Structure 1
Amino acid sequence: MKRGFSEIAKQAPVGLCTLIGEEFIVEMANEAYLEMADKTEEEVLNKRLFEVIPEIRELVEPVFFNVYHTGIPFTATDYRVVLNRSGKPQTAYFNLIYQPLRNEESNIVGIIVIAIEVTDLVVSRKKLEQREQNFRQMVMDSPIAMTILRGRDLRIEMANELMLTRFWRRTAAEVNGRPLLEVFPELKGQRFPDLLLNVLESGQVCRDKEAEAIIDAQDGRKVFYMDFEYAPLMEDSEEGVTGVMVSAYDVTETVLAKRAAKEAEERLKLAIESTGMGTYEVDLLSNEMTHSRSFLQIFGMNPDLPVDRKELVSRIHPDDLEIRRKAHERSLKTGVLTYEFRLNRGDNEWHWIKAWGRVLFDESGKPIRLTGTILDTTDEKLTLLALRSSEKRFRTLADTLPAMVWISDPEGNLYYYNRSVHEYSGFTPEELARVGWLEIVHPEDREENVAKWMHCIQTQEPFLFEHRFRRHDGAYRWQLSRAVPQYNENGQVEMWVGSSTDIHEHKIFADELEEQVIQRTQELINSNEALLKSNTELAQFAYVASHDLQEPLRKIQTFVTMVSDLERTRISEKGAEILQRLRSTAERMQQLVIDLLSYSRVNKMENHFAKTDLNYLVHSILQQLEERIDHLRIKLQLDTLPVIWAVPFQMEQLFTNLLSNAIKFSDPSKSSKIEVRYQHLPAGTEKSALLNETWDYHKIEIADNGIGFDNEYKEKIFQVFQRLHGKDIFPGTGIGLAICKKIIDNHQGLISANGAIGEGALFTIYIPDFSPEGLSNI
C-alpha cells in the first residue's frame, strides 16, 4: 500500500514532498516538486531542506516549526517565494498546504508539503489588472477630454478631470453612475445622443468635426466647437459593444480663428514684410507684376520710382538666370517655386537671395497667378559656406586618423563614416549606407549594442561600449566605441560624434587573465573544501579515539582499586605508594582524554546559536563550584551580565574553565577575590586591528588576585598542553584555555590575558553583539 501511494505521489501533477523531524530531512520529493525547486532527486533526498534550498529558510522555517509543534495545517494562496533557478534568483508564486505528518501512534514526525506553482496565472492576472488600471489611468491622465459611457441609457462610468472642469463644470460625484441625458437634459434634441446610440448598435467609430455643443453650467450657458471621436468598447466578444469612449477636442478657438482669417491676411502681409522679406505678385495672363516696397529695397532700387521688370532681371548674376528659368518652368507644373540666385545691388557686391512662390491655377488647371517672397540670405549663405569648408577640413582630418570615426543625427542614425571604417569593413560608402552599420557588429553583440545606444540617445549620457567588429577578411576584433553629444546654443543635441578603437590584444589578455583568476579561485575553493573535510575527519577521529581510550583507563583504575582492597593488609608501604601513583596517573590520563574530547567538540560546524542568559549560566557554574569557593573563602563581585546570541554549551565551557582557573590559582596567603565585570561597546569604541570596527561587542573581564603569571607567557597559555606550573602543584592538562580560545574564535570574538606574578590575572573576552539576522556572519 505504501509503495503504491509512493508511486502515485511521484506521478502527481502537483508538487509533493515529505520532511522528517525538526531538521526537516527530505524523505520523498516527486518530479513536480523537484522541477519547481530546479533540483534533482540526488540533490535533495535525505538532506536538510534548508541546506538544499537555503533561500527559502527565513520565509518558510517559522511556518514549518509552527505546523510541526502545533499540528495546525498551513495553507496559502499566491504565496510569493524567490528561488534560485538556473543560477539566477526568480520570483515564483505557489498555492501551498503544509500538513503535519503523523506516525501510527498519531505523533507528529514531520511535514507533508503540497505545492502548486501558479506563477504564470498570477503574473497574467497582475498584467490584466495592470492593463485595466493603465487604461483607466490613461483616460484620467489624458490631455484630451475623455469620458466612458455604458449601456443604452449612456450611463457615465468615468470622466477625466479635463472633461469635468473644462466642459461639464461638474464634479465626479455629481455625474458618475448617472445617465448622460439626466445630467445634461439640454442635450435632448441635439444630435449627440443619436450618434452615441448608433456607435453602440453598429460598433463603428464615429467622428464629428467642429460640432457645436451647448452646455448649461452654473456660470451660464456655454457654446463650444468640438471635434468628437466616439469609439466602441467591448468587455468581451460575446457581449459585443457595451459602451462608448468619447474623446473631445476643443476646436473653438480654431473655428473662431477661421472666421477671422480674412482679417488676418493683411496683417500677415505686414508681418512678412517686417521680417525683411519682399513680396510680389505676377499676373501670368497679362505678365503684369506688383511688388512691395521691401522687394525693391532688396534689389537696391528706389521704391518711390517706377521700375521696369527687365531692369530687375538684369541685376541677377548671369550664371543664375538659367537656374531661375528652370525653377519657373517647374512651378508651372508643380505649383511651387523655390530657387536661390545672386544679386548685384549696385554696390559691387553679390548678395545671395532666396525666392519662394506659389502658382495659382483656374478650374481648368491653367496657371493664372504667381505670388512669392524673396529674402536676402547673404549672411546665412556665407556662414553655410564657411561651415561646409570647415566640414571638409574635418573630413580630411578624420580620414587621416587610424581610428574609426563616425557621426549620427540627434535620433542616433549614423550618416558619416571616415575612411578607416570603409577600409576596415571592406564596405564602400554606398554599400554601408544600404546594409547599415549593424552589419559590421558581431551578431552576439548587436542586441546589447542597440539597447545601450538607444539608452544614451534618450538620456544624452556619453556612449561607451566594448563590442566586436567584422573585418573585411571575416575576422572579428574587439573595439572600444565612444560617443558624446554635441549641443547647439539652445542646449539641444545637434549630433553625436563617436570613434571606435581596436583593443583586441588588450581584451584577449584581460580575458586570459580573468580566466586564470577564475581557475586559481576554484583551486582555492577546492583546497578549502579539502581542508574542511580533513578538519572534520580529524575532529571525528579525536572524538572516537578519546572515547575509546577511556575504556582501558577505567579498567586500570578498577584493577588498581581491587588490588588495593585485596592486599590491604599484606601490601608493603612501597607497594601502596606505587599503586597510588598508578591510580593518580590513570586519573590524569582520563582527565586528559576528557579534555581532548571537549576540545574536539568545540567545532564550528556544530554551532547552534540561541539566546543565552549569561547571568543564569554564571550563577549555575558558581553553584557547582560553591564548595571550593567556600573552602578557600573567596569573595565574588559580579556585574549584571547580558543575554546574548551564542552556543549555550560552549559558553558554559568557557566560563567554567575561566572561573575554575581563577579559583585553582588563588593565593592562600591573602584574602582571595574574583571579579566578573561587563561593558557594552558600541561599534568603533575600542580601536584594535583584531576587532571589526562596524560591530557592537560585549566586553567581559574575569579578574583575580591570585598567584598570577609572567606576562611574557600571555599568548602561550592559550596553546594546547601549555602549562606554567607543575602538575604536582596545580593539577590540570593544559587544554582548558585552548578550549576557551577555540570557543571565542567560533563566535568571531577575541580573548586575551594579562598577569603579574603574585598580583593576579585578568582575562578579557569580546563577543560580537549579533542579532538573529546577523548570525550569518558567524
Structure 2
Amino acid sequence: MPKAPRKTPEGRRGSRSGDERAALLRRLAELEEREAHARHIVQMAGVSIWEEDFSGVQELLLELRRQGVGDVRAWCATHPDFVHEAMGRVRVVSVNDATLRMVGASSQEELLGSVERIFLPESVRVFIEQLVALAEGRPFLQAESVVRTLEGRRLEVLSTFSWDAVVGRADRVLVTLMDIGERKAAERALQESEARFRNMADHAPVMMWMTDPEGGCTYLNRQWYAFTGQTEETGLGFGWLSAVHPEDAAPVKAVFVDANARRAPFQLDYRLRRVDGEYRWAIDAAAPRFGPGGEFLGYIGSVIDITERRRREELQRFLAEAGTALASSLEYGTTLSTLARLAVPTLADWCMVDLLEEDGSVRRVEVVSADPSEALLAEQLRRFPARPDGNPHHPPSLVILQGRPVLLPELPTGRFSTLAHDEEHARTIAATRPVSLMSVPLLARGRTLGALTFFTTARSGRRYGAVELEAAEDLGRRAALAVDNARLYRDAQRAVRLRDEFLSIASHELKTPLTPLVLKLRVLARELEARCEPVLSRRLLGHLEVSRRQVKRLSELVDGLLDVSHLSAGRLRIEREVVDLSALVREVAARFQEESERSGSPLRMEADGPVVGQWDRQRLEQAVSNLLSNALKYGGGHPVSIRVEDIGEWARLVVRDEGIGIEPDVLPRIFHKFERGVSERHYGGLGLGLYVTQQVLQAMGGTISAESTPGHGATFTVDLPLAPAPEAL
C-alpha cells in the first residue's frame, strides 16, 4: 500500500495561507455585497443623497491652521475669495436617483465634479457653516438652505452633512437634501395668516388674547397694551394677571385654570387696571382652540370694557329703588332725606339737597357723606345752602337761578373760592376734598323747586360724565315730582280741613233756625185747622205741607253735612243696643209710605221673622232710610223690594229697585264722598247719602255693595254681624 506523503512544515504553512485567503475573499465578498446593498438602499431612498470629496477643502483648512487662523467664520466673512476657492474644490463623487429627479439631471455625469452649478448666493451661508464644522472637528451639521435645479428653479431644502460616513475615508462627506418647499410654503402661509390675524386683532375695537395648551398667554393685541400699559415682557405668560384687581386676580385665575383643565369655554367679569390707574369693569369671554386632529391648542378670547354698561345698570337699579322710596311717603322732607342716603355711595360720596321755599329763601334739608366720621363736616355744609343772591358760580345757586344742570368733571384743586360764597365756605368745601361735581334742578310743572348736588372725593376718585349726569337729572325729575305731589297733597289736605271746618260750622248754624221753623210750621197747621174755614184751611194746609217737606229735605241735607263733618273729624259714635232689623225696616218703610205713593213705587217687604242683633238703632234707621230714599227716587215708578234674612252669624238686608240703574263706570264710585250716580240737575242732592251709609255700616262692622244694569234698576246688599266683634265692645 503506498505511503501517504508526509506533511512538511512548509506544507502546513501553505495550507493556513490558503484558508486565510479564502476567509479574506469571503470577507471581501461580504463587504462588496453590503456595499452593493447599501448603494441599492441609497439609490432607492426618496431623499437626495450625495457623496462628496472634501479633501481639497481640508487642505485649505490645514493651511489656514498653519497660518494661525482660529476663527474660520470671521476669516470667511472677510475673505470671500477663500470661500469661492473652497467651494470650487468640492467634488461630487456620486448621487442617487432621487437627486437626479430633484435637480432635473438625466445622469450622474451631469452632476459629477463641482457643486457650483446648483449653488445660489443664499447657499454660501450654509457652506461657510460646513467649513466651520470641519475646522472644529464636528462630525454632523444640519441646516436649511436653498439650491437650484439645472433648469434654474429654486428649491428650499433641509441639508445634512456627515463626515467619516464612508469607512476609512475621512475626506469624504455624505450629504442629504430633503425638499421642504411645501412645508416652508405652509409655514409662510401660516405666518401670513397669523400676521393677518394679528393685524385684524390689533385693529379690533376690543382687547384680544391667545394662550398655549398649558394656559400661558402667547399673544395680547395692541388694545390690551394700550389699555393696561403693559408690554409683552410684563403681559405674556401669566403676567396679565398683574393688571387684574387684587381682589379679583385669584378668583379669575381659578376660573381660568379650571376651564383650561376641562377644555371648556368660559365668561367672567372682573376689574382691570387702566393705564391711568383706574380699575374698570371688563367682561372676558373665551373659547378653546383645537387642531385638525382634535388636539387642544389653547384659548382665544376677548376682553371688553363694560364699565359704562355696568354703571348704567347700577344707576337704573338705583333709580328704581329711589322711585320706590319717593313714592313711599308724602312727607317730602323725610323722602328727600331717604333719597340722599340712597345716593351715597351709589352715585356720590356726598349728597346735598336744597329746597326753594315759598318765600324765596333756600333751605338745605339734607347733607349726607359716605363716611360716618364726617358728620361734623356735614353739619358745617348745612350752613351754606344755595343763595340766589350769593356767588353766581356756586353750583347749587346757579342751578336754582337758571334751572339747568351743572357738570364739573374735574374740580380745580385748591381754587374752591371761585365756587364758594365766602372764605369760610371755601375752607369747608376744601375739607371734603372734592374731585368731581354735578348739580341738577328739581323741576316740576315748569317751576324750580330746589337742587340736588352730588360730588365725589379723593377717597373714591370717581369722575362724573354724561352717564351719571343723565341719571342725576332723571333722579331730579322724580324727586321734584314727589316734592310737588307732596305739596299739592298738603295743600289739598289743608283745603279739606278748611272745607270740613266750614261744613261743620255751616251745618250747625243752619240747624239752629231749622228746629224752631219746624215747630212753627206745626203750630201754624194746628191754628189753621182750628180757626179757618174748611175750604181755606185745606188750601193753606196744602201750602204748609209743601213747606214742611222742603224744610224736612233741608234738614236732611244739613244732617248729612253734619255727619260728614263728624266722620272727617273721627267723632262718629256708635251706641249699641238690641235691635230687631225686620221690625226696624217695617217702621222705616211705613214712614216712606206717603213718598212711595207719591212716586208710584210701591214698597214690598219680605221677612221670615225677627232678625235680632246689637246695633246702633238711630244709625241703622239712617242707613235704611238712605237706601229706601234712593230706591224711591230712582225707581222710576216701579216697585221697590226689601228683603231681610238671617244668614247664620250675619243679618242681610237687600233693597232692590227696577229704575234707571247705574252706569258701570260710575258704580265703583257711588260710595265716595260727593259722588253721584246721576246728574244733580234732574235728581238733586249732595251725593253724601251712600257715603254716610257706608261709613255708618262699617262702624258697626258691616258691609254694603251694589249691583246694577243700566235701565234695569239697582240692588244694594247690606251684611251686618249679629254680634259685635270683641274689639268693638
TM-score (norm 2): 0.35
TM-score (norm 1): 0.34
Higher share of residues assigned helix: 2
Q: Which has the larger radius of gyration?
A: 2
